Amino acid sequence: MSFRTATVTIMACWVTFGAVLQASANGNADGPEKDPTLQIYLPRKITVKNSHLTLGQVTILRGDDASVTKASKIPVGRISLPGQKVVVDRVTILSRLACNGIPACNVALSGAEETAVKRWQQVIEGPEFVELARSFLKKEPPADGVCQSDPVGLPKDLVLPGSTKDIETSTQLVKSAVRNQAKVRITVMADGKEIGMREATLRLKYHCRKTVTLADIPTGAVISPENVKIESVISDHPEPPNWRPPYGLLARRRLPADTVIGPTMLSRAKSAVLIRRNETVVIRVEMPGLLVTAMGKTMQEGRAGEYIKIRNLDSQRIILCKVNEDATVEPVF
């Protein structure tokens, strides 16, 4: 090999080596390639201080800073009651991550299948006692139709001993003098011993129905589905147990459109007059094993169910009688 050929070969080697060094330098400038996978470790149990749970509180996260920061802020539940335990499983975690733009293919899970989360508490605050009372009333409503409960003030906070471990609560309904209020007593137990008690009073609201006029209804008109509508409302007082649409009743006065109809605005339709004044009728007294009849003369007209005066034709005494459907009358003793 000639000197010129050797020189060209050496130069080619230097050019190739330089290109390799440049590529290496560019790679080092960009830094080492990062693993895009977000690694999540689930402990079997964990105790937190906050009631609003995030992924960063209940798991251990590993990965690039941006992914960890984003994932740690994702909410995964809430502890609303003292002593409550929340379970966060792998399916829930993957679902919450996917909703926030982190697909399951970029996530590696390890540790337990689910994490049991409890809150470490030193104080049970007033709103928490209210939530306990509400939860109790939902399970055991004090009356039919209860749909909402609003606190009447807040119970005082309860400070727990520093060595408190397991907190349990029991609730019971206390008799209240106010009809649309419920009073709930909450007893707090810690380590098997009672450490405090609070009472929460809640104002109740009920599902009810009301009748509203669709158009002007004149005096004496019959209430029907064509001139009124039935609406659902929330009321401070329960609906009467015998409530029904007022179809067939008569308007006592003119009712403008969009009027909420009250019971004093209506009257029952009067039945036909069965007995006229100065008519002769049968006075009928019926008891088990006994039937007594007499003749009488009416002092006034009457309809079925009404009470009118009758003169007994035998004794000429005036007595008060109830008009029966068959046009006989029954004495009132």
Write down the mean pLDDT value for the chain.
85
Q: What is the mean pLDDT of residues 29-40?
A: 63
Q: What is the mean pLDDT of residues 141-159?
A: 89
Res 15 pLDDT > 70: no
Phi-psi bin for 17: left (phi > 0), alpha (psi -120 to 50), beta?
alpha
Which of 169, 170, 133, 138 minimizes the C-alpha distance to 153? Answer: 133
Residue 78: the pLDDT is 84
- How far the first Cα of the chain sits from its last, in Å, is 148
Question: Any idea where the domains of the chain sit in the sequence?
Answer: 38-119, 123-205, 206-267, 273-331
Phi-psi bin for 258: left (phi > 0), alpha (psi -120 to 50), beta?
left
Q: Name the CATH architecture for the domain at 38-119.
A: Sandwich (2.60)
Q: What is the mean pLDDT of residues 223-245?
A: 91
The one-character DSSP state at 113 is S
- Token digits for 82? 């003292």
Per CATH, the number for 273-331 is 2.30.30.760
Percent above pLDDT 70 for the chain: 87
Strand-pair category, 329-331 with 302-303: unpaired
Q: Are 51 and 123 in contact (CB under 8 A)?
A: no
Residue predicted with more confidence, 271 or 64: 64
Which of 327, 328, 278, 272 minimizes the C-alpha distance to 299? Answer: 278
Q: What is the mean pLDDT of residues 6-10?
A: 41
- Domain 206-267 falls in which CATH fold? Type Iii Antifreeze Protein Isoform Hplc 12 (3.90.1210)
CA angle 232, 237, 243 (to 5 degrees): 60
Res 226 pLDDT > 90: yes
